[in-house]
Structure 1
Amino acid sequence: MTFGTPAGTRGARQPSGRIAVWMNKLMANRLRRRGGGKFMGLNALVLTTLGRKSGVERSTPVAWFPGGGGTYLIVASAAGAASNPAWYHNIAANPDKVRIDVEGRTLDVTAEQLHGAERDKAWRQITTTGPRFAGYQEKTDREIPVIRLTPRPS
């Protein structure tokens, strides 16, 4: 379970600011109310992490892809920004303190970053389903992390 994808030296502007925060809260609330759904044509879930510095829970809507065996794949694309999104760093610091709201359920999950051939296979699946992710990779020189979320027994 190693996390450690460094920031790149080039990339798109990462969404930020009050409007981005407001939109994330709006979408997270909508997904929770509806028991899941789609965002920009992709399956979406609400990812809740523990802030690595603050210790405060942070929730973010993200696209997900089936990972096989009841797991979920998410992508730390940050729209092709040079740096990883804040939630990536939160997961890296606390991979066993992650929760998702998906398909009308709330699940405690363990996060694991994929590497090598496993990441390459997942990346092909993700970019086939969501071609915009290939475009995000073209915008940055960092390797965009793929994270597998595995539900923990209750």
Structure 2
Amino acid sequence: MPPNAVLKTMNHAHRALIKLSGGKLGKTFGPMPAVELTTIGKKTGQPRAVFLTSPIQEDGKWLVVASRGGDPTHPAWYTNLVANPQVTFAVVGQQPTKAEAVPVSAEERERLWPLVVKTYKGYGGYQERTSRVIPLVWIRPLAG
């Protein structure tokens, strides 16, 4: 797994690609829409934005995968939203909205994981690289 500096550089590059292309590039990764999730840092209390993909959308909710490329530790954005599930969410190219992050139950993960891997096979490889169970999180935009 790449170090944090590489992950941050990738996020900055993604943001630059979207900006330079006027939003025409960087909207998707394969069949998955790109989304920006902003959490509140559990240690700093500061907003922390990250680009992710959403392999599944159901009933107005967007699923994100806390894979970190199969790293043995959870991504910071995941630990932040566990500490504070109130987040800001935006599909790339759309306006951000307030949302609630809800980690899926073990039972729901059993249903969703095969669909996640079907959408992007790389997630299956990430799970094979780590002993931790890769969390799945529903992002539920709030009306308002």
Asked if TM exceeds 0.5, the reply is: yes
* Pair 1:19–1:119, CA change in 2 (3 A): closer
Cα deviation for residue 100 of structure 1 reads: 1.3
* Residue aligning to 2:114: 124
- Counterpart pick for 1:144 among 119, 130, 134: 134
Q: 1:19 to 1:139 in 2, by over 3 A?
A: closer
Unaligned runs of 5+ in 1: 1-12
Gaps of 5+ in 2: none
User: Is 1:27 the counterpart of 2:14 in the alignment?
Assistant: yes
Q: C-alpha distance in 2, partners of 1:20/1:124?
A: 26
Distance 1:101-1:30 versus aligned 2 partners, 3 A rule: farther
1:153 aligns with 2:143: yes
SS of 1:25's equivalent? Answer: helix
Alignment partner of 1:85 out of 75, 96, 101 = 75
Residue 23 of structure 1 aligns to a residue whose secondary structure is helix
**Map 1:9-28 → 2, pairs under 5 A:** 13=1, 15-28=2-15
**Contact 1:66 1:72 survives alignment (8 Å):** yes
Measured in 2, the distance between the counterparts of 1:110 and 1:125 equals 22
Tell me how far apart the structure 1 counterparts of residues 127 and 6 of structure 2 sit (CA, whole Å).
Answer: 24
CA separation in 1, counterparts of 2:97 and 2:55? Answer: 16
- Deviations along 1:81-138, one digit per CA (max 9) or x if unpaired, are 1000011111011102x11120513121101111122111111111100110001000
- Corresponding position of 2:91: 102
RMSD: 1.9
SS in 1 for 2:63: strand
8 Å contact from structure 1 (residues 31, 44) kept in 2: no
Aligned length, in residue pairs:
140
Mean CA deviation greater in 125-134 or 112-121: 112-121
SS in 1 for 2:125: helix
> What is the 5 A alignment of 1:58-77?
58-77=48-67
2:89–2:141 contact (8 Å) kept in structure 1 = no
Which region of structure 1 is more displaced relative to structure 2, 127-136 or 113-122? Answer: 113-122
Residue identity (%):
31
Verify the 8 A CA contact 1:110 1:149 in the aligned structure 2: yes
TM-score under structure 1 normalisation? 0.82
